Amino acid sequence: MQREKILQQIGQFNDEYDFIVIGGGATGIGIALETSTRGYKTLLLEKTDFTKSTSSKSTKLLHGGVRYLAQGDIGLVREACMERGRLLRNAPHLTKNQDFVIPTFGWFDEVKYTIGLKMYDILAGSLSLGASRRVSKKKALEKIPTMKPEIMTAGVVYKDGQFDDSRMAVNVLQSSVENGAYVLNYAAVKQLKRSQQGMINGVVFEDEETGTEYTAKGKAVINATGVFADSILQMDKPGSRKTIRPSQGVHVVLNKSFLPGDHAIMIPETDDGRVLFAVPWHGKVVVGTTDTPMDKPAIEPVALEEEIKFILETAGKYLVKAPKRTDVLSIFAGLRPLAAPKEDGSKTKEISRSHKIAVSDSHLFTMIGGKWTTFRKMAEDMVAKVEKVKNWNKTHSKTRNFQIHGYKTDIDLNDPMYVYGTDKEKILELARSESGMDQMISESLPLMKAQVVWAVRQEMARTTEDVLSRRIRCLFLDARESIRVAAVVTSIIAKELQRDKDWEEQQVKSFTKMAEKYLCCKPEEVQN
């Protein structure tokens, strides 16, 4: 994961790759792992930072999707339940088995959810995380003491998986690199290259840091750009039909006092038919989400006023203490890359979440839709498709039972550094071996200097935002504190990357501007 070294190798050797993957979100990184572990020479190019787009802004659930079961999408639920089980096994340092409580009101609710969740258990087969069960109102309140007693007559407890999305991506990328893949952030694909017969055989990309252009030859080019898929399809065939309909989902992050304990809440049907989750995550509580159709994709979408209102009001209906804007530590919005429906007017929540692969006449392979939970299976399907279309020999997947970088089983979830897995010891060694590295930058997040240096040296972090948003999840956990520590973090990065004062100033300015969008109110309102 050392950017200069990888760029130098690409520039020096005019190699041909078996796979060029465009996009460094969940979809692209999954494909890079799948192809590199099968021995394919792979290059992954990401325009901004890995997971900067949707893949850092998920609800952080590895789930079959109870809602999709209600919609009768049995195939998708079964596939996702299997993948959930595999990921929990393959990356125990980044995932956990999470208990959810559904508050039920009346016997009809109770029967519906008890039977529905039994089905959910059955679909997971041998990879089930444990049986769901009906619990009395008293027991449900013991698990979630902050839930209003009057909203329920009983409850159902079920299990799903939870994870850290961006940390998962970093470790999957490290595994890919360990298997020979070349991965680059801040490398934007500008153009597709073609053979004399018009078949796609490479890309032109630009190093966004220097403006230098490179050409890379590839036998198969994969469009894994999520909500931006149509822009690459346009490069292939101008005027192509729109394939993606972005749907925005917003989350707010609250203090743990709103949901003390280990249990999460799942409200399967809010007033407007949406699902709402409140899930403990890294010592805070993530509450969301919404489902708002959007016309255009954006790399950093912003929560709409009505979305914030919906989440806070709905949470307030179920929690004893209703959260206010001033309680929000961070707010983030992401765009689901849903397949555009053939008929106009379909509601986004009715569009299937299953993935589809499109192959153009010139052999551009595009992944449409999907979920974080199924990113491994999506990659398996993509390789199978390429091998079939290109008439290559069939290879077999090695990722079903694969220990992802950092793999460690004896994890203490109360340790703020548990997500590093086996890398934690290396970071602590760095903190011991170099002077000042053990200095705490923030006690409340918490954040140590050695983590910042590690992110730059080992995880390809290039900017203040890369470090504070995605290598360490500070911005998502406490936007205000992240803004406060930005200057110190930037000076550490600048020293590592040998950047000057102008760069530092510009970094702090642009990070602060971006991070202010993660705030829900002005600082003076919080103090009042």
Ligand X SMILES: Cc1cc2nc3c(=O)[nH]c(=O)nc-3n(C[C@H](O)[C@H](O)[C@H](O)COP(=O)(O)OP(=O)(O)OC[C@H]3O[C@@H](n4cnc5c(N)ncnc54)[C@H](O)[C@@H]3O)c2cc1C
Q: Contact positions toward ligand X, by CB under 6 A?
A: 22-28, 45-48, 51-55, 57-61, 63, 188-189, 224-228, 231, 249, 289, 334-337, 370-373
- Report, in Å, the least distance between residue 140 CB and ligand X: 23
Return the DSSP state at 467. I
- Tell me whether residue 276 or residue 431 sits nearer to ligand X (CB atom): 276
Instruction: State the minimum distance, in angstroms, from the CB of residue 449 to ligand X.
Output: 28
Identify which of residues 225 and 507 has a Cβ nearer to ligand X in the complex.
225
Rounded least distance, CB 383 to ligand X, Å:
16
Q: Least Å distance between CB 313 and ligand X?
A: 18
Q: Cite the DSSP H helix spans in 150-239.
A: 165-178, 229-236
Measured CA to CA, the distance from residue 56 to residue 54 in angstroms comes to: 6
Nearer to ligand X, 87 or 152 (CB): 87
What backbone phi and psi angles, to 5 degrees, belong to 111? -65, -45
Whichever of 141 and 184 has its CB closer to ligand X, that residue is 184
Query: By C-beta, is 189 or 447 nearer to ligand X?
Result: 189
CA–CA dist 263, 135 (Å, integer)? 13
Residue closer to ligand X by CB (options 54, 132) is 54
* 116 burial level (CB within 10 Å; 0-12, 13-18, 19+): middle
Shortest Cβ 233–ligand X spacing (Å) = 11
Secondary structure of residue 160 in the 3-state scheme: strand
Least Cβ distance, residue 49 to ligand X (angstroms): 8
Comparing CB distances to ligand X, the nearer of 372 and 450 is 372
Residue nearer to ligand X on the CB measure, 354 or 442? 354
Least distance CB 381 / ligand X (angstroms) = 14
Question: Residue 149 has which token pair?
Answer: 């007693």
- R_g of the chain computed on alpha carbons: 23
Torsion over CA: 226, 89, 35, 33 (sign):
positive
Taking the complex as a whole, the smallest distance from the CB of residue 149 to ligand X amounts, in Å, to 29
For 153, 214, 280, 300, the CA distances from 66, given in Å and listed in that order, are 21, 45, 19, 28
Q: Which residues partner with 204 through β-bridges?
A: 191, 215
Task: Give me the DSSP letters along 482-517.
Answer: HHHHHHHHHHHHHHHHT--HHHHHHHHHHHHHHHGG
What is the residue type of 76? L
Provide, rounded to whole angstroms, the least separation between the CB of residue 101 and ligand X.
18
Copy the structure tokens of residue 304: 């709409």
SS3 content of the chain, % helix, strand, coil (to 5): 40, 25, 35
Handedness of CA 484, 489, 495, 499 (dihedral sign): negative
Q: What is the 3-state secondary structure (H, E, C) of 275-290?
A: CEEEEEECCEEEEECC
Which amino acid does the sequence have at 481? E
Pairing of strands 264-267, 95-104: parallel
Closest CB to ligand X among residues 103, 249? 249
- Dihedral of the alpha carbons of 504, 505, 507, 510, in degrees to the nearest 10: 180
SS3 197: coil
Minimum separation from the CB atom of position 305 to ligand X (A): 17
Closer residue to ligand X (CB): 280 or 337? 337
